[in-house]
Structure formats: structure tokens, C-alpha cells
Amino acid sequence: MADDKDTASAIPTLEDWQHWTWVMGRAQQMLMETWADGMKQGQPWPSVPPAWGAFPPAFGWGLPGQSPASDPAALMTAGAEAWAKGLETWGQMMGLDTAAKEGARDRRFAAPEWQDNPVFDTIRKTYLALSDKLLGTVEEVEGIDDEARQKMRFGVRNFVDAMSPSNFALTNPQVLKRTMESRGENLLKGLANMLNDIAAGQLTQTKAGVFEVGKNLATTPGKVIKETPLYQLIQYTPTTDEVLETPVVIFPPWINRFYILDLTPEKSFVRWCVEQGITLFMVSWKSADESLADLTLDDYVLQGQVDAIDTVRDLLGVEAVHTIGYCVAGTTLAATLGYLHARNEQDKVASATFLTAQVDFTQAGDLKLFTGGETMALLDELTRDKGYLDGRYMAATFNLLRGRDLIWNYVVNNYLLGEEPAPFDLLHWNSDTTNLPAKWHRDYLETLYKGNKLIEKGGISVANVPIDIGKVKTPTYVQAGREDHIAPPESVWKIMDHFGGPKRFLLAGSGHIAGVVNPPAAQKYQYWVNVRPAETLEAFVEGAEEHKGSWWPDWVEWLKSLKPKVVKAQGPRVPGKGKLKAVEDAPGRYVKAR
């Protein structure tokens, strides 16, 4: 009798049939509505970045109505068992030791459902063993150079990440459980999330409507004191009675919004610098439009960095300024220093700080893989008619570098589980894309990234002035992130090889963003310094001393040791009180322009 009751309870009721029929119908309706909206705009589906091509298959397996099966639970169980048997067979054919993966730490499979059910446990262990086998095979291939192996490694890693059983509804026990508990509601919510993202042309990584620039991001008080077609110059309001005589000018990357350095007040590098008694200026680059289509390196050096340096020097009546170049702006800052040295004007810059910046791209990491002929052809196609690159394409590229965390994690949570991402200021900034001038972006990739011309004597010129960064003697502070996947520490280190003059290298814990944005109050991560001379990064690490927490105090101590003189925080030290009147309040218009 008990068996009969169990059998009866497993049979779908009329209500179950009606509900699942409604789910299927609603899914079809949502797809048709999206298609109809697209037709009104002249295309059946929105135009979205190439990276989206990988997303729909992961979701399609889980859509009710994709299969004629009448019992969703039976379909899901059968599908999971088929996957398990298939993976197990492959593992046996390749002689894999799946038991060796028992203790593997992988948050994709952290939920107990992956271990408790023998079917999913087999899927998990066999997939992990297969992944290791495929990735290991790349290292064993003979007769290829390092560049070819790097391309193969990147491709295999992304393929392996994409094929994870966690990315498919039928092989993810958490998704199956959620689907049965919610009776398919999670898949409808996920479909809505996916369609919204496709319409926006961008993956949602943080909760919408929580953060706003000027309201709870980029709120450090200040004024825009200069505006050009290329940038706005922000001067921040002092909060101390005295300030260092020599000001600091920050050049953020033009491929991102500057407020990564002025996030919430608790995380703001800008606010912290002002509190240390620094007269601080920030360059806010304009998001590219048709008017900036023909910009080149000359424009970013002369009309951008040199112009900002001269503007601040003239405003405050000082001989020199400290400079900070973050990421690609650090690369340009190296060219600016080379230009100033060639013209015997190097005294305009008292010091240069390079945050996760590269000048020698010999070991530039996986991002270098996006400088091949096919990528350049795609870039030409995307920018031919408008003269600038939509920032969403650049964001998709960066997401691919960490696909497991920045793509597939959200595919599972947003689309399969039907969840809404949590609010996160850093990921809001990451999604706040900015457009790039087409000509300059291509030149940067071909001449600097691929051609590596910046390290060649006279390899590039600015305003017909040949650049030789080997002659740069400006005091230099070089910060690298230990886990940086965009500017690897071994690549950032090469600044030490090419510059002369006094140099200080610091290796920070974490990566390209969190390794930089690490306020002292957070008491997170660590950094390493080595007071003894080191010829290589390996030698630096071997003799380095670890310090807990933020590297910011180390930097400001170094800065103050170069130019310790202080002056009253009055007159032109207050935004709008000098010869340059306030244009508008910080953070200005440019950072908000889309």
C-alpha cells in the first residue's frame, strides 16, 4: 500500500499539468514579445556583443517547453543520469582517477547536493578530472611556441568553464531543486533576466538602481575647474589646514570611469588622499563619440596629460606635480615622461606612480590574445560607421578573461536560478562602460600591446619627438597586483627594467582592482616590499617582507619623503578660488555621459 501511495503522489496532478502548461506558454509569450519589439526596430533580436553567443545554450536546456516530456521531474532525472553515464564513460576511456577530485575546492560545486546524490557526485568528479586532463594536455603538446600554447590554454580553459555541468539546468542539482520547488518560476524569472540583458547588450552583475554617481558613488567634494573636448579636470576640496605644496594629478584609464578611485566614501582613494593633506586633481576622460574618432597617442599625451600637468602647475604656481597613471593611463604616462625628458622639461613632474600599468608587453597575459588579425578586423567592423568602440564590447572582453566568475556565475544565478544579483559598488563600476576612440584604440593595441614599440628607442614619437623611456629618471613608484589577470605582476615589473632614476616596487595582494582599491580601514589583504636591490620579480619576492593591510600608507609616506614641504590650504588650493573658476560640482558631466 505504501508503494501505491508513493506512485500516486509521483503522478502529476491536473493542477501540475495546468501550471507547467502556463509556464511553457508564458515563456513562449516572452520570447515572442521580445521578437516583436525587435521587429519594430528593424531587427528581430537586439544587436549585442559577441560574448553573448555563449549564453543561450546554457539556458536553453532548462526552458520548459523545450522538450515534449510530460513529466518535468522524470525528464530532469533522466537527463542527469544520461550526463553522468556519458561523463563516466569518457573518464573510463581516458583512464581518469575521479577519486582524486574528492577534495577539490570549487565553489561551483560547493552545495551539498553535488556530493549527497551519487549521480551528481559522479558528474562533478568526472567533469573535474576531464577538465584537468584537457588542461594538462595543452602543456604536453609539442612543436608549438609559447604564444600558440597561451592561445590554446586560454581557449581550452574557456571551453572547459563553459561546459561545466553547473551551467546546465539538467545537470545542476541546485537548479533542479529550485525548479521543482518553484514549479518552474525560477526559469521564467531567469528567462526575463536573460531577455532584459540581451536587450541591454550587457550581463547584469549587480542590482540595478542601488548606486548612482554623484549620490553614493564619486561623492568626494570638489569642483570641475576645466573642461576640454577630451577631459574634465576635477580639483578636490581640502579637509586639512595644511597641504603638501606639490599636488597630485591622477590619470585614470580612459577605458573605464574614473570613480573606481572614488567609490563609496569608505573605499575612496580620492577621499583618503585629501584627508592625508594632498591637493588632489583628477582627470575625467570624455566617453568617446564621433567627435573623438581621429584621436591618437599625441592627443592623449599633449592635449590630455601634459595639458593637465601644465594647468595645475600654472594654477598653483608650483614647478612640478606628482602624477599617478592607472592601467593604460600609466602606459601613456610613460610616453609623457619620455616626451618631457626629450624636451628637457622633465622637472614638471616630481614623481610618477604606476598602478597596475605596463610599458613592456612581452609578458602581457591573456589580454594580448585579443590583438590578432581577427580581433582587429572585428574592431574595424564595429567602429567603421561611428568612429568609436561601444564600451560594452570591451567589458565583454574583460569578462572573458575571468569567464567562470564574471560570466558563468551570473548565467547560473541570474538565468537558471532566477535570482537578482546583490548590490556591489565595484561591479556597478565594472558595468558602467565608456566608449573608446576607434583610431586610438586600434593604435594602442597594434603599436604598444602587439608591436611593443614603447620600449624601443624612437619606436614611437609624440608630435614628431622620438620617445626613449630609457632616459626617464623621474622618481617612480610601481604597484602591481599579485593575482592581476589584466596586467600580470611579471609584466608590470618590467617598468623597473626600463626606467632609470630612483624606483620603488610594491607587490599588493589581490588583483587589478581590489589590489588597488584597498583602504586601510578595511584591514584586508597584504603587500610586499623589498629594500634590497632585485634584478627580477622572482628575486624581489624571495627577499620581500610581507605587511598586512593596505599599501596606501606606504605610498603616501614615499610621496611625502620626496617633497615634504607644506603650505596653507587656501587661495587656489580651494577649488574655484584661483584663476580657474568652477565649471560645475564634482564629479562632473563627463563621467555621467553615456
* Structural domain spans, the chain: 13-200, 225-390+433-592
**327 has catalytic annotation:** yes
Who's near 98: CB < 8 A, 6+ residues apart?
88, 91, 122, 125, 126, 128, 129
Task: Write the pLDDT tens digit of every residue in 480-517.
Answer: 999 999 999 999 999 999 999 999 999 999 999 999 99
Mean pLDDT, residues 314-322: 99
Residue in the structure block whose three cell numbers are 619627438? 465
How far apart, in whole angstroms, are the C-alpha atoms of residue 159 and residue 9?
Answer: 41
The single-letter code of the amino acid at 178 is: R
**What pLDDT is attached to residue 577?**
96
Q: What is the DSSP letter of 213?
A: B
Q: Which of 261, 327, 486, 517 is catalytic?
A: 327
Tell me: pLDDT of 53 over 80.
no
Task: Write the pLDDT tens digit of every residue in 199-226.
Answer: 888 899 999 999 999 999 999 999 999 9
With CA atoms as reference, report the closest residue to 586 among 228, 230, 235, 216.
Answer: 235
Task: Write the pLDDT tens digit of every residue in 416-434.
Answer: 999 999 999 999 999 999 9
How far apart, in whole angstroms, are the C-alpha atoms of residue 394 and residue 255?
Answer: 8
**What pLDDT is attached to residue 477?**
99
CB neighbours (10 Å) of residue 140?
Answer: 6
Cell of 261: 578611485
Tell me the residue ranges of DSSP E strands in 373-432. Answer: 388-389
Contact 246, 563 (CB under 8 A): yes
**pLDDT band of 70, cuts 50, 70, 90:** very low
**What pLDDT is attached to residue 61?**
29
Tell me the residue ranges of DSSP E strands in 461-544. Answer: 461-462, 465-466, 476-481, 503-508, 526-529
**pLDDT band of 48, cuts 50, 70, 90:** very low
Out of 37-51, 386-400, 435-449, pick the least confident. 37-51
Percent of the residues in the chain that have a pLDDT greater than 70, as a whole number: 82
How far apart, in whole angstroms, are the C-alpha atoms of residue 140 and residue 389?
Answer: 38
**CA of 299: how far to CAs of 270, 332, 454, in Å?**
26, 11, 16
**What pLDDT is attached to residue 99?**
52
Tell me: pLDDT of 469 over 90.
yes
Task: Write the pLDDT tens digit of every residue in 264-314.
Answer: 999 999 999 999 999 999 999 999 999 999 999 999 999 999 999 999 999
We find that the CATH architecture of domain 225-390+433-592 is: 3-Layer(aba) Sandwich (3.40)
Strands 465-466 and 461-462, how do they pair? antiparallel
pTM given for the model: 0.85
Of residues 481 and 39, more confidently modeled: 481
**What pLDDT is attached to residue 5?**
47
Task: Write the pLDDT tens digit of every residue in 116-157.
Answer: 999 999 999 888 988 888 899 989 888 888 888 988 999 999
